């Protein structure tokens, strides 16, 4: 509990919106899932359900079908009767079980319809699990309700494999995607090393339009200089082709193979996306460049939608935290909060320790969190040890120590 105290003391206090003594909840709760699925977005739903079911003031628990679209097609799931066995399975179920969409509430007709729907169905509480776009929609819906003088409490639960929501130490969903990317890099790296008589280079292309959090995660399985990845390029730093060729040359000469990870969003010195240089994508463009300039034969790995859907590399810490933020959203409703997003706050110190906190929705949507400078090396081609310290504990159980032969080959007759 000492740690918990420390975290709370470090936190900015929120004084608005919090009622001094909370009144008993009275009405129906609506839950939605927005944006792309993650390995643990259903664990957050499980957390909400497990807690909401215990509150007698919440009469019905409804689930939106396909995000905000569900409000307008007026088809809802009734979740009140789902049992503990369902909730336990849900923690480990990939996808977004309610369905998702990019549907927005953005014109007066829709707004009126939304308020009518909430009134007609006595929905007084709305918890939305999603990324920054979903938090923006939630903030907007809350404002529409206020304008209509409809008493609605809204709470946001973050999820993002991109890890780009500010204020929270990290986003539920990131840790599992990071673990999958680290494991994929270990495997594909060993594969290249085993088949370096076929190919010289592998380039793995990872999600991340503006931020390099996912690409950075490829570093987490690296234990020796031979291990992949050898270079990582992120959107936060400009990508210089000359420098890139020099980086590759140095490492290739030493190892006779090289494994590179790039974010899909890397940009050249003029701010132009490398992705725009080739219809087959930036990794393909760079393998062609390496072949042309240095004669290196390359292969490409694109992790694609696996980054958010492969749920068998789930980090147990991620599952537990996603569940925890879900539960906390209900607790915060019970304590009279509204217009906030639940956060994960990390204690300083040697051991990893987080508690839930909260921030105004307005703060959570103000800007996008890219990787800060101190997590990227000055050369802009790898992460720093500080990133490793930040991200490694999120992965849950440690990544394995793999076998390495003890000697270099001997020359025989």
Q: Is residue 187 near a second copy by the rule CB under 8 A? A: yes
Tell me the number of residues near a second copy by CB under 8 A.
Answer: 74
SS3 letters across 335-365:
CCCCCEEEEEEECCCCCCCEEEEEEEHHHHC
Query: Which of 320, 306, 326, 329 lies closest to 397 in space, CA to CA?
Result: 320
User: For a second copy, what does the binding mask look like between residues 128 and 157, x meaning CB under 8 A?
Assistant: ------------------------------
Q: Is residue 297 near a second copy by the rule CB under 8 A? A: no
C-alpha distances out from residue 128 to 76, 237, 248, Å? 14, 33, 45
Cβ burial of 277 (10 Å; 0-12, 13-18, 19+) is middle
Is residue 212 within 8 A of residue 245, CB to CB? The reply is: no
Nearer Cβ to a second copy, position 309 or 377?
Answer: 309
State in angstroms the smallest separation of the CB of 7 from a second copy: 32
Residue 88 annotated as lining a ligand binding site? no
Nearer Cβ to a second copy, position 77 or 353?
Answer: 77
Q: Please state, in angstroms and rounded to a whole number, the distance separating the CA atoms of residues 58 and 386.
A: 44
Query: Which of 121, 100, 118, 127 lies closest to 37 in space, CA to CA?
Result: 100
Task: State which of positions 154-183 bind a second copy (CB under 8 A).
Answer: 183
Q: Is residue 225 near a second copy by the rule CB under 8 A? A: no
State in angstroms the smallest separation of the CB of 86 from a second copy: 6
Torsion angle (degrees, nearest 10) of CA 76, 82, 85, 87: 50
Residue choice 25, 29, 31, 36 for contact with a second copy (CB under 8 A): 36
The dihedrals phi and psi of 297, each to the nearest 5 degrees, come to -85, 130
Query: Which of 387, 361, 335, 85 lies closest to 216 in space, CA to CA?
Result: 387
State in angstroms the smallest separation of the CB of 3 from a second copy: 31
Residue choice 132, 184, 263, 327 for contact with a second copy (CB under 8 A): 184
Which long-range contacts (C-beta less than 8 Å, at least 24 apart) are formed by 84-88? Answer: 84/50, 87/46, 87/49, 87/50, 88/46
Residue choice 243, 249, 288, 302 for contact with a second copy (CB under 8 A): 302
> Among 136-144, 153-161, 297-305, 350-358, which window interacts with a second copy (CB under 8 A)?
297-305
Residue 208 annotated as lining a ligand binding site? yes
Peptide bond into 237 cis (omega under 30): no
Q: Please state, in angstroms and rounded to a whole number, the distance separating the CA atoms of residues 181 and 204.
A: 10
Q: Is residue 392 near a second copy by the rule CB under 8 A? A: no
State in angstroms the smallest separation of the CB of 189 from a second copy: 8
Nearer Cβ to a second copy, position 210 or 309?
Answer: 309
Q: Is residue 219 near a second copy by the rule CB under 8 A? A: no
Q: Is residue 291 near a second copy by the rule CB under 8 A? A: no
Q: Is residue 188 near a second copy by the rule CB under 8 A? A: yes
> Among 157-165, 294-302, 344-352, 353-361, which window interacts with a second copy (CB under 8 A)?
294-302
The structure tokens 């969190």 sit at: 369
State in angstroms the smallest separation of the CB of 87 from a second copy: 8
Nearer Cβ to a second copy, position 349 or 400?
Answer: 400
Residue 135 annotated as lining a ligand binding site? no
Is residue 117 within 8 A of residue 141, CB to CB? The reply is: no
State in angstroms the smallest separation of the CB of 251 from a second copy: 18
Nearer Cβ to a second copy, position 96 or 231?
Answer: 96
The catalytic residue positions are 162
376: tokens are 């990227």
Residue 209 annotated as lining a ligand binding site? yes
Task: State which of positions 68-127 bind a second copy (CB under 8 A).
Answer: 69-70, 74-79, 81-82, 86, 89-90, 92-97, 99-103, 117, 120-121
State in angstroms the smallest separation of the CB of 97 from a second copy: 6
Strands (E), 84-198: 123-130, 153-158
* Cross-strand bridge partners of residue 63: 31, 77
* Cross-strand bridge partners of residue 204: 261, 301
Task: State which of positions 304-343 bind a second copy (CB under 8 A).
Answer: 304-306, 308-313
Nearer Cβ to a second copy, position 130 or 380?
Answer: 130
Residue 363 annotated as lining a ligand binding site? no
Q: What angle do CA 94, 36, 339 make, to 5 degrees?
A: 105
Residue choice 197, 224, 292, 348 for contact with a second copy (CB under 8 A): 197
Can you say which residues are annotated as belonging to the binding site for diphosphate? 36
Can you say which residues are annotated as belonging to the binding site for substrate? 207-209, 264
């Amino acid at each position: 509990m000492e740690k918990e105290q420390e975290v709370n003391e470090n936190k900015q206090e929120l004084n608005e919106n919090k009622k001094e003594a909370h009144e008993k909840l009275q009405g129906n709760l609506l839950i939605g899932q927005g944006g792309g699925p993650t390995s643990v977005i259903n664990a957050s739903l499980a957390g909400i359900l497990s807690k909401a079911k215990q509150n007698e003031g919440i009469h019905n628990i409804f689930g939106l079908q396909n995000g905000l679209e569900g409000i307008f097609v007026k088809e809802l799931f009734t979740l009140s009767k789902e049992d503990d066995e369902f909730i336990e399975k849900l923690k480990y179920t990939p996808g977004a079980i309610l369905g998702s969409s990019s549907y927005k509430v953005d014109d007066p007709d829709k707004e009126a319809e939304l308020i009518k729907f909430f009134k007609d169905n006595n929905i007084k509480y709305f918890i939305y699990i999603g990324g920054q776009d979903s938090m923006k929609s939630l903030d907007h819906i809350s404002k529409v309700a206020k304008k209509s003088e409809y008493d609605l409490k809204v709470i946001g639960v973050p999820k993002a494999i991109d890890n780009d929501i500010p204020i929270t130490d990290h986003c539920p969903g990131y840790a599992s995607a990071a673990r999958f990317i680290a494991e994929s890099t270990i495997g594909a790296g060993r594969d290249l090393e085993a088949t370096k008589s076929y190919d010289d280079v592998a380039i793995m292309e990872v999600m991340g339009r503006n931020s390099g959090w996912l690409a950075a995660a490829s570093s987490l399985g690296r234990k020796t200089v031979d291990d992949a990845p050898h270079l990582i390029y992120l959107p936060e730093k400009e990508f210089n082709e000359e420098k890139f060729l020099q980086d590759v040359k140095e490492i290739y000469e030493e190892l006779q193979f090289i494994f590179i990870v790039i974010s899909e969003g890397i940009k050249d010195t003029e701010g132009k996306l490398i992705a725009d240089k080739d219809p087959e994508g930036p990794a393909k463009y760079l393998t062609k460049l390496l072949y042309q300039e240095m004669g290196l034969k390359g292969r490409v790995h694109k992790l694609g939608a696996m980054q958010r859907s492969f749920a068998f590399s789930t980090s147990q810490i991620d599952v537990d935290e996603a569940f925890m933020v879900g539960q906390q959203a209900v607790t915060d409703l019970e304590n009279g909060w509204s217009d906030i997003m639940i956060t994960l706050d990390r204690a300083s110190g040697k051991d990893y320790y987080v508690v839930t906190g909260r921030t105004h929705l307005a703060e959570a949507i103000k800007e996008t969190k890219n990787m800060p400078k101190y997590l990227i090396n000055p050369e802009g081609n790898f992460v720093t040890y500080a990133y490793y310290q930040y991200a490694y504990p999120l992965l849950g159980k440690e990544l394995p120590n793999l076998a390495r032969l003890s000697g270099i080959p001997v020359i025989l007759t």
